[in-house]
């Protein structure tokens, strides 16, 4: 494992290239401590200490610090760790570590987004944004379906409350009453399917009441 290049990233940190490929980022003091120099070989024991101990601990700490600043998707955290110079394998381990404590949860992230900022967007726009953040498209579709069902249940409950209040005690509706209550609910913006479902339920309850 020959060091082919050491490229400064900041004043304190440098990217180490091994065999022409980016290997990891270390503080300049660590480069001196481990005697890492260009055109020289990294001993196996030093390599294992850096990749098996030092960077694993550091990446875990970095992952948790990033999550303290704000919620992230699995993909976002993984990408950020790699941008910071952590090798893919070590970044993956750090993400899994955070996941084991429940600090990362793509389902929770997507639900919070759909109920927050995403609620002001069209479903298509919200879906595109969540996909861009790395959320599994199948999970997005599933959550949106659940959201639609919840919204439908909520709307239907509003229709039910208004209808029962307007119609009073259970009784058979004649044609005039039926048209009147239907028009009343329709004017308030409720869908035909919700209105018909609630009125059918009311009629059914009336029949049971009569029995």
Domain match, 85 and 114 both = no
Tokens of 96: 């899994």
Domain match, 119 and 188 both = yes
What is the pTM for the complete model shown? 0.71
Task: Please tell me whether residue 87 adopts helix, strand or coil conformation.
Answer: coil
CATH label of the domain that carries residue 91: 1.10.10
Taking only the tens of pLDDT, the chain with its 211 residues reads 899 999 999 999 999 999 999 999 999 999 999 999 999 999 999 999 999 999 999 999 999 999 999 999 999 999 999 999 999 999 999 999 999 999 999 999 999 999 888 877 778 888 999 999 999 999 999 998 888 777 777 778 888 888 888 888 878 888 999 999 999 988 888 888 888 988 888 888 765 544 4
Domain match, 115 and 206 both = yes
* Adjacent-strand bridge partners of 207: none
Is residue 130 within 8 Å of residue 110, measured between CB atoms?
A: yes
Task: Please tell me whether residue 18 adopts helix, strand or coil conformation.
Answer: strand
Region of residue 48 (left: phi > 0; alpha: psi -120 to 50; beta: else): alpha
Domain match, 134 and 158 both = yes
Domain match, 10 and 59 both = yes
Domain match, 128 and 41 both = no
Domain match, 97 and 117 both = no
User: How many domains does one find in the chain?
Assistant: 2
Is residue 3 within 8 Å of residue 40, measured between CB atoms?
A: yes
Domain match, 8 and 43 both = yes
Domain of 64, in residue numbers: 3-101
Tokens of 85: 């110079």
Domain match, 20 and 93 both = yes
């Amino acid at each position: 494992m020959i060091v082919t290049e050491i490229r400064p990233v900041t004043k304190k940190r440098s990217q180490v290239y091994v065999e022409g490929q980016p290997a990891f980022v270390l503080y300049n003091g660590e480069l001196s401590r481990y005697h890492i120099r260009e055109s020289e070989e990294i001993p196996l024991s030093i390599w294992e200490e850096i990749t098996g101990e030092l960077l694993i601990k550091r990446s875990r700490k970095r992952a948790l610090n990033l999550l303290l600043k704000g919620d992230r998707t699995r993909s976002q955290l993984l990408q950020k760790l790699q941008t910071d110079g952590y090798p893919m394998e070590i970044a993956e381990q750090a993400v899994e570590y955070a996941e084991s404590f429940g600090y990362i949860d793509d389902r929770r992230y997507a639900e919070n987004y759909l109920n927050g900022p995403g609620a002001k967007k069209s479903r298509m726009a919200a879906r595109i944004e969540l996909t861009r953040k790395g959320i599994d498209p199948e999970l997005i579709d599933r959550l949106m379906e659940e959201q639609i069902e919840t919204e439908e249940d909520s709307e239907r409950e509003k229709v039910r409350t208004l209808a029962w209040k307007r119609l009073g005690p259970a009784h058979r509706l004649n044609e005039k009453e039926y048209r009147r209550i239907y028009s009343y609910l329709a004017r308030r913006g409720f869908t035909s399917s919700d209105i018909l479902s609630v009125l059918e339920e009311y009629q059914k309850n009336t029949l049971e009441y009569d029995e």
